[in-house]
Amino acid sequence: MSLIGKEVQPFQAKAFKQGEFVDVSNEDFKGQWSVVCFYPADFSFVCPTELEDLQNNYEALKELGAEVYSVSTDTHFVHKGWHDSSEKIGKIKYTMIGDPSQTISRNFDVLNEEEGLADRGTFVIDPDGVIQTVEVNAGGIGRDADTIINKIKAAQYVRQNPGEVCPAKWEEGNDTLTPSLDLVGKI
């Protein structure tokens, strides 16, 4: 079942952020744009490259009014251990949510039940707490933060310009489309 257009289901979790343990809930996703990136496990292989890429683009995401959250089924304690022992992960300033109960992974429909790990799911959530984009990759396929940035820009444009849509390969400043009867069969 698609999660597009649905509000994030309630949850409460512990997280690690900039040397501290913090509480996080679905309410934290409201009032701002949010990027939620699920990944299989700490101390793994593709995951640190993705999370480092998000950190390298964190300021650009914040400039768009977006906060970043990474989520795995590890605990917040494991996140701290990984942060303290990995050069790549040690750079991270965004919130790393622990989901040992697997509630959040299940809510976002990215839990691999057999392994007890999250799939590589990326979600862009609007300031109302509603999911606007979903991307789920196979375990061996890493994500690109530039693509996430472009999705946020498109989602923000569509939100601010009702009646307009962003075509394939749209980038900020490019032409959009206004769906109408006169466009049918002409694109």
Q: Does the active-site annotation cover 37?
A: no
- Burial classification of residue 57, based on how many CB atoms lie within 10 Å of its CB (0-12 exposed, 13-18 middle, 19 or more buried): middle
Catalytic hit among 3, 47, 96, 125: 47
| CA–CA distance, 70 with 61 (Å, rounded to integer) | 14
Taking each continuous run of H as one helix and of E as one strand, the counts in the chain are 5, 9
Helix or strand holding residue 76 (H, E): helix 76-85
**One-letter amino acid of 115:** E
User: How many alpha carbons fall within 13 Å on the CB side of residue 139?
Assistant: 10
The structure tokens listed for 74 are 């590890």
Active site residues: 47
